[in-house]
Amino acid sequence: MPASPTVEFVSLADIVAAGPAANGAGEGASALVVLAGESMAFGPQTQRVTAPAAAAIERAARAAKFKGKSGSALDLLAPHGLGWDRLIVVGAAPKKDDSAKDAAEPMDFVGLGGAAFGKLNGATRVAVLFEPPGAADAAAAADFALGAVLRAYKFDLYRTKKKDDADKDAPVALTIAVADPAAARAAHAPRAGLADGVALARNLVNEPPNVLYPEEFANRAKELEKLGVSVEILDRKAMTELGMGALLGVGQGSVRESRVVVMRWNGAATPDQPVAFVGKGVCFDSGGISIKPAASMEDMKGDMAGAACVVGLMHALAARKAKVNAIGAIGLVENMPDGGAQRPGDIVRSMSGQTIEIINTDAEGRLVLADVLWYVQDKYKPRFMVDLATLTGAIMVALGQEYAGLFSNNDELSERLKKAGEATGEKVWRMPLAPAYDKMIDSKFADMKNTGGRYGGSITAAQFLQRYVEKTPWAHLDIAGTGMGSPSSDINQSWGSGWGVRLLDRLVRDFYEG
Ligand code: BES
Ligand code: MN
Ligand code: ZN
């Protein structure tokens, strides 16, 4: 993993005082990043610093038809009169909100930071004059830094041959000049913890399945103890005693033993009921005896993205010392075909006592979650449970890769998730649950079957999960389309996206802390 960029905040006034020739000393190419509003408007300090190159900037902008459109950039090499190897003008003009005429959309500074970082072209000593059009506070500057750090993430642990451009792998030293550096530093601290949580989730999803099997995944989760999280690991014996027959049935064809990990962060002042997050952690999903086709089967190393998100979230909550009591529970299994593997036709008994007829061994995620949801609800009596799972291919048919599917028994929790989604860009779209779908998973031989037929596959899967939730407010997020292999964005270039860490951190921060 390349070191993530170092972030430092300095005062804009100091940069102005240092004069136009300053770029600090050091190895590697330097770049000065400035922000331009509509029709290339610069803030007053930015204007002062770039004044010696004003004519060249104007000429370059005209030639490139650069108008300051948000996310676009103008790259000037060694501009005369400035001491920098490049001057990168990043467009930061407010986007017009189509629904409200003339009203500007609130600036997405996380996205802007990511977009700016994407324009560095190999520069490793970088100063940003953070003087965007309109009002911008310390939180805006810290958001910008967060976006840059998220964008910088790369998973290259297993590359032994570097690309020719050595500079590209050197960590970037990012200096952000702001009006109030102390306030920006304070706002940056919790975001740094959040960025680390996202990176941790991405790492787990990107790791190959021969390295990251259930036991190793549990070891990685155990490392959260360093942050003050208590971590309990249930092995096969403990799970057998608890009666987790649904989860254990999925793992029984693998030489890798299953695990359940429960992480607990107690950050609230009072011993309040915890909030709870549950993740599907299928470290590799071959489909089992109902084996998947070979094409893209390698992607099924990411079938633990829900569990990865829960671990990343627990990291973020602990790192920023969130004032909340939170449980993170993950069911870790490997779904493999084998002489000892589960068969279609098998009937298993879940921890809840309900029996399940296995129709398709590839519908394994719901079996894992059934036992973990039940265990968490029974043991911790949480205020709510949110589960995340790369549960169905059908959710991609319905929603593509932009939105995760949201299924819930609770309107308030759904509304809050929707708001947190809009705030972070990790968007959710609510899908139905209804008794009529429930009938589709009734079984001739057991209390239910694990598939519901061709239609409404994501809904019948959610309907199945609901049978393991009693009165607890609960939401299920189907992240098959968003947790892995989603299109690259300004703030994510990684296959494992770490989707959900920012969403749920925001849910906690906005509605359950204090
Ligand atoms: N892990 C898969 C779902 C999945 C597919 C996630 C593609 C990400 C990308 C899940 O375990 C699965 O196999 N679901 C089946 C369910 C079916 C057998 C009822 C599916 O979606 O086809
Ligand atoms: Mn499957
Ligand atoms: Zn799966």
Average pLDDT over the chain, rounded to whole?
A: 95
Q: Measured from the CA of 287, which atom of ligand 1 is nearest?
A: 13
pLDDT in tens, 101-128: 566 678 999 999 999 999 999 999 999 9
Please tell me the predicted confidence (pLDDT) of residue 20: 77
Please tell me the predicted confidence (pLDDT) of residue 24: 74
When pLDDT is cut at 50, 70 and 90, the band that residue 96 belongs to is confident
Q: Ligand 2 mean position to 499 CA, how many Å? A: 20
Please tell me the predicted confidence (pLDDT) of residue 482: 98
Higher pLDDT, 21 or 294: 294
Give CA–CA dist 323/269, Å, rounded. 7
- Burial code of 350-383, b = ≥16 C-beta within 10 A, e = fewer? bbbebbbbbbebbbbbbbbbbbbbbbbbeebebb
Give CA–CA dist 420/427, Å, rounded. 8
pLDDT of 98 over the 90 cut = no
Q: Which one-letter amino acid corresponds to residue 361?
A: T
DSSP conformation class of 370 = H
Q: Lowest-pLDDT range, 133-147, 153-167, 500-514? A: 153-167
In this structure, the chain runs to a length of: 514
- The answer to whether 451 and 445 are in contact (CB under 8 A) is no
> What percent of the chain stands above pLDDT 90?
89
Q: Ligand 1 mean position to 18 CA, how many Å? A: 58
Instruction: Reply yes or no on whether 65 is catalytic.
Output: no
Written as six digits, the tokens of 488 are 């690259």
- 27 phi-psi bin (left φ>0, alpha ψ -120 to 50, beta other): beta
Q: Measured from the CA of 394, which atom of ligand 1 is nearest?
A: 21
Identify residues whose C-beta is under 5 A from ligand 2, the ion. 285, 362, 364
Please tell me the predicted confidence (pLDDT) of residue 105: 74
pLDDT of 168 over the 60 cut = no
Identify residues whose C-beta is under 5 A from ligand 3, the ion. 282, 285, 303, 365
Q: Which ligand is nearest to the CA of 450?
A: 1
pLDDT in tens, 67-88: 999 989 999 999 999 999 999 9
pLDDT in tens, 180-202: 999 999 999 999 999 999 999 99
Please tell me the predicted confidence (pLDDT) of residue 169: 63
Q: Which ligand is nearest to the CA of 288?
A: 2
Please tell me the predicted confidence (pLDDT) of residue 22: 82
**What's the start-to-end Cα distance of the chain, in Å?**
36
When pLDDT is cut at 50, 70 and 90, the band that residue 352 belongs to is very high
pLDDT in tens, 241-256: 999 999 999 999 999 9
pLDDT of 167 over the 60 cut = no
Please tell me the predicted confidence (pLDDT) of residue 514: 80
Q: Which candidate in 67, 220, 222, 292 is catalytic?
A: 292
Cite the DSSP H helix spans in 267-410: 305-319, 365-380, 394-399
Query: Which residue's CA is the closest to the ligand 1 atom numbered 3?
Result: 392
Instruction: Reply yes or no on whether 292 is catalytic.
Output: yes
Among 273, 263, 269, residue whose Cα is nearest residue 383:
273
When pLDDT is cut at 50, 70 and 90, the band that residue 162 belongs to is confident
Please tell me the predicted confidence (pLDDT) of residue 49: 95
Whether the model pTM is above 0.95: yes
Q: Per-residue pLDDT averaged across 403-426, rounded?
A: 98
Q: Ligand 2 mean position to 385 CA, how many Å? A: 23
